[in-house]
Chain A
């Protein structure tokens, strides 16, 4: 296995490293192929565009250029400029146009180059697309997908306006669905589901994961947009995470297994609507919860998950709920102060040890 990441050396020489086999989602014997996260998204887009003529892409530099992260690369060649549509730099109108097209039968997949730019489109996302079906008493639906790369990665130095994790901005708006896959398998299955869903779906892609590889079944599959995924079962403590943090949680679980601590990892791959039952059931089983998110700590996803634990598992808690989250800070540029702005597996290990006391 190729080592994808990272400097786990400080955890000790025998520490597991972050390799694709940390997460296996395709059973042996199932015909499959290996894709990166980026390729998995592209494959989903390609297959859905072939399957359904109403699916088209729009966004900045997504044509020949293939998008800022190359996700749409080669799709322009296959589907042409009509269905892989370069737009002006007009985020609000990219989203609004997607909404208008969706209202009359299309299934647009729009891309905002970085989630940080989505503030420019917030009216169209939060006031228009999210509410149109409701405001009109069900006269319409808005079946679009809004792809937005988000988040950071140690040492990437993308600084304050290109690195944020903003899933809660959108999870806070009823009418939107928010998806945040952690693996190639999930990315493909959830993208297909998002395209086929009749609601506006915010599809967040963790930039650092684009190169992560994993197996994807050869046959067509669609994942539900309403479920958390238990990435690892365990009995002692539940670690709830999403996006890149799922990998850190899985690595932490490996390390902790060596200490006799049996960690369950719940991947909130659909941020909203939130599958509260899976989180609740897991914590009722383990009695302990460590919540991990890359997003800023204050008012972040971990706060919401913590309340879900309180509402579904209060009487089962053996220890206080602990959150491990991004620092409440704009993302710095210099490596020396960027370090530690996001949590990692070591933080999770420490937090889990703490709740096991």
Chain B
């Protein structure tokens, strides 16, 4: 039997990998599941496992260090018997003259683990995960998978602060309230510990201020009703808020940026973390590239996240990469509240319930409107009152301009 061995898709965005090395030689016996090839995706150095047991043969020529291999391209065969014929593979295209060096790791990067592959973060291109003992200890305590952390230290070494930063992505914007316990002690869950630590760090290290504005939700309510009338399921209010925030952030990149060492690091992606309550504590899973999604797509993702919150729990990739956080407690009947900034993010939006109030228009006409109270808390090191006021105004505009027909991308 002849089994094709090809480069599998190993992360959501993976199109191709870069050849690093074979772990076995032509003609070697391999066992199913044995790592036999190392490739470098843009974020992960991965060992690709043999799909079958047998002998490796027919290796595609041109697989040299730095060569690009598209996913799905057969690179060799695994045969039961070396006497079996296999097709001769064409030589792979020459590698680019200057293979890209591994990208500088960023806290917002995610490392994705693909089926059928074991992965490790190797920004330097070799060896097991590099991490300081303190980072390993922190990862243990915080329940963080080290392989999901991008190291910022020398040669990609994961530091304690890298782990804490990643853990912070998983931390909620609000400290979780411990349930009613019996007399004695109630242990914090790992997530609650992270929350506790990160919130203390936030209030001690980040100078914060808050601005509050009422948003007119008339258009949102109308859009939801329209969708429902269409027989489709209604996008959630949160989905509309995410979309509006994403749209506003695209106009205000400072709000989407991180304050670091006296400068503002601008994030290319607009990834909105949304606070979710679970029994284990509050999580902030992320809607990645929310500015490119329709409100229905956002709503669907939120529903999926809610299912994860109720069920299997979030994977590290669900929790990584947030650039802004939304905490909506409207469904709990909260009128309004102020959240705490979730570092290194620059700002967080806290929203309460939708309530009806009379509104007097400029022409004196009195009407009943659907309102929501939105409070943005911001890092005063990178944002000032005017910037946040303008950002809130953008949200207000976006939320007011929701297309009542389809809720299309704003």
Contacts and interface: CB of A to CB of B under 8 A. Distances in A.
Tell me if chain B binds chain A: yes
Interface of A: 287, 314-320, 357
Contacts of A318: 132, 134-135, 159-160
A314 B154 contact: no
B153 A317 contact: no
Interface string B219-262: 00000000000000000000000000000000000000000000
Interface in B152-170: 153-154, 159-160
B154 A317 contact: no
B137 interface: yes
B220 to A, nearest CB: 48
A318 B164 CA distance: 13
B133 A315 contact: yes
A89 to B, nearest CB: 51
Contacts of B159: 318
Nearest to B141: A315
Contacts of B153: 319, 357
Contacts of A357: 153-154
A315 B132 CA distance: 8
Interface in B114-142: 132-137
Nearest to B137: A315
A287 B160 CA distance: 10
Contacts of B135: 318
10 contacts: A287-B160, A314-B133, A315-B133, A315-B134, A315-B137, A316-B137, A317-B132, A318-B135, A318-B160, A357-B154
A357 B154 CA distance: 7
Query: 9 closest Cβ contacts across the A-B interface?
Result: A315-B137, A317-B133, A314-B133, A318-B134, A357-B154, A318-B132, A315-B133, A316-B134, A317-B132
**Which of under 10, 10 to 19, 20 to 34, or 35 or more describes the interface residues of B?**
10 to 19
Contacts of A315: 133-134, 136-137
Contacts of B136: 315
A329 B178 CA distance: 63
Nearest to A284: B134
A317 B153 CA distance: 13
Contacts, number: 23
A318 B134 CA distance: 6
A49 B132 CA distance: 52
A315 B137 CA distance: 6
Nearest to A319: B132
A68 to B, nearest CB: 46
Interface in B139-193: 153-154, 159-160
A311 to B, nearest CB: 12
A313 to B, nearest CB: 8
Contacts of B132: 317-320
A84 to B, nearest CB: 53
B280 to A, nearest CB: 25
Contacts of B133: 314-317
A352 to B, nearest CB: 14
A287 B135 CA distance: 11
A287 B132 CA distance: 10
A316 B133 CA distance: 6
A290 to B, nearest CB: 15
Given A315-B136, A317-B132, A317-B134, 16 more contacts: A287-B134, A287-B160, A314-B133, A315-B134, A315-B137, A316-B133, A316-B134, A316-B137, A317-B133, A318-B134, A318-B135, A318-B159, A318-B160, A319-B132, A320-B132, A357-B154
Nearest to B153: A357
Interface string B36-52: 00000000000000000
A356 to B, nearest CB: 10
Nearest to A357: B154
A309 to B, nearest CB: 10
A263 B33 CA distance: 49
B152 to A, nearest CB: 10
A357 B152 CA distance: 10
Nearest to B152: A357
A280 B227 CA distance: 65
Q: Which of B133, B135, B160 has the most CB of A within 10 A?
A: B133
A347 B159 CA distance: 24
Interface in B13-34: none
Contacts of B137: 315-316
A274 B339 CA distance: 51
A351 to B, nearest CB: 13
Contacts of A317: 132-134
B118 to A, nearest CB: 26
A227 to B, nearest CB: 26
A317 B157 CA distance: 12
Contacts of B134: 287, 315-318
Interface string B294-322: 00000000000000000000000000000
Nearest to B157: A319
A27 B402 CA distance: 73
A320 B153 CA distance: 11
Q: Which of A287, A316, A318, A320 has the most CB of B within 10 A?
A: A318
B165 to A, nearest CB: 14
Contacts of B160: 287, 318
A287 B137 CA distance: 12
Nearest to B140: A315
A272 to B, nearest CB: 26
Nearest to B161: A318
A319 B154 CA distance: 9
Nearest to A314: B133
Nearest to A313: B133
A287 B153 CA distance: 14
Contacts of A314: 133
Q: Which of B132, B135, B154 has the most CB of A within 10 A?
A: B132
B138 to A, nearest CB: 9
A307 to B, nearest CB: 14
A152 B134 CA distance: 37
B154 to A, nearest CB: 5
Contacts of A316: 133-134, 137
B298 to A, nearest CB: 39
Interface in B88-137: 132-137
A316 B136 CA distance: 9
